[in-house]
Amino acid sequence: MKNEKPVREIRINPIVPTESVLVATARSMRPKKAEAPAPRDTRRHVDTCPFCVGNESMTPPAIATYPAQGPWEIRIVENLYPVLGDDRENPNLNLGLQQTIDGYGRHEVIIDHNSHGAAVHEMTESHLALLFGAYRARMEQLYSSNRRLRYVLVFKNFGPAAGASIAHTHSQIIGMPVVPDNVQAEVVNSRAYFTKNHRCIFCSLIDEALTFEATFYDRESGEIRRRIDVGQFVIERGERFIAIKPFASRYEWEVHILPLTHHADFLESTAEDHADLARVLRRTMARLDAVLGGAQYNYFLHSVPHGEDSSGNAASFHWHLEICPRTTIPSGFELGSGLFVNTISPEEAAGTLRAVVLE
């Protein structure tokens, strides 16, 4: 991979074609700056931390704790500073070009682990499986609690570079009355693909990652322009899940994890699924952590939205977890153009991640 020629091309996201990425790997063209790695808080216990064991009175009472018996390993509480809340039920407003939808919603914090600074790859697989079970249970409860909720977003910010305001490892879950734009774009485009091809585009992408190979030659010189090897974008493969480096990755070290068989809704996932997902995620995070020297990242679950007019998406949408490590600061070029710039070719990044030797 080392002797590959620099890449400079705009790659179209196959699922959301309006979202494109400039892959520009030549050092001289790098238009953005690396994020200075902020040290991760690795302490096990912090006396003043509201999420640490012994400080439970500093948070609202627990909505749920896991496991069912004994000291808590995962604890779920109301967010004290909700971005959306259920305290107000204002009518929607429509004043000229200023339209608002009532900010109704639910915002909860999932304290992922009782050890303050535990990183995902340091957690046991059985703990991670428990965490996915907690995500599923809360998601189910929120959807059934109010019919106005159209989307329940589960996400995790880890490390200061990823916007985590409390260092103690935690995830968040927000139930909202609208479907977020980027989820909606995936839903609409995957449905259009299904109408045309009678196949789920995510299933097609998994197939391609596992089977496709090709060599493209330059017409004039006869030199190899690009080689695509089987499995070139695969980072981890479990029995039920696969971790893939997207061909049009927005972030240098972005990785997506998908179920190998077709499922639109995370709510369909079982304890067996969670066990394999735990293994694939833990190994993927260990690879990212080894390469990045302490990964700071956001991850989020994209699952099929609920509510009216969403029933037709079960065959075309395919739930997945997107992991987006933060290693660079977005530039004015990116913010102004909406074009993501990726300075490491996804094929090379995939090779680097796969080369990490795990214990």
107 touching Zn ion, by CB under 5 A: no
116 touching Zn ion, by CB under 5 A: yes
What is the DSSP-derived secondary structure letter of residue 231? T
What are the structure tokens assigned to 92, written together?
A: 């929607």
Which of 22, 49, 130, 244 touches Zn ion (CB under 5 A)? 49
Q: How far is the CB of 51 from Zn ion (least distance, A)?
A: 4
Q: Which residue carries 């993927």 as its tokens? A: 284
Residues linked to residue 321 through DSSP beta bridges, in sequence order:
257, 301
206 touching Zn ion, by CB under 5 A: no
Judged by CB, which is closer to Zn ion: 103, or 117?
117
Tell me the per-residue interface mask from 51 to 90 with Zn ion, x by CB under 5 A, - otherwise. Answer: xx--------------------------------------
168 touching Zn ion, by CB under 5 A: yes
User: SS3 of 101, please?
Assistant: coil
Q: CA end-to-end span of the chain, whole Å?
A: 24
State the Cα–Cα distance between residues 165 and 64, nearest whole angstrom: 22
243 touching Zn ion, by CB under 5 A: no
State the Cα–Cα distance between residues 35 and 161, nearest whole angstrom: 8
Of the candidates 276, 278, 290, the residue with the CA atom closest to the CA atom of residue 325: 290
319 touching Zn ion, by CB under 5 A: no
Q: How far is the CB of 140 from Zn ion (least distance, A)?
A: 20
Are the beta carbons of 31 and 341 closer than 8 angstroms?
yes
Which of 148, 191, 262, 354 touches Zn ion (CB under 5 A)? 262
Judged by CB, which is closer to Zn ion: 11, or 318?
318
**Torsion sign, CA atoms 137, 141, 147, 148:** negative
Which of 24, 76, 139, 200 touches Zn ion (CB under 5 A)? 200
Is beta strand 93-95 parallel, antiparallel or unpaired with respect to 98-100?
antiparallel
> What residues make contact with Zn ion under the rule CB under 5 A?
46, 49, 51-52, 116, 168, 200, 202-203, 262, 302, 318
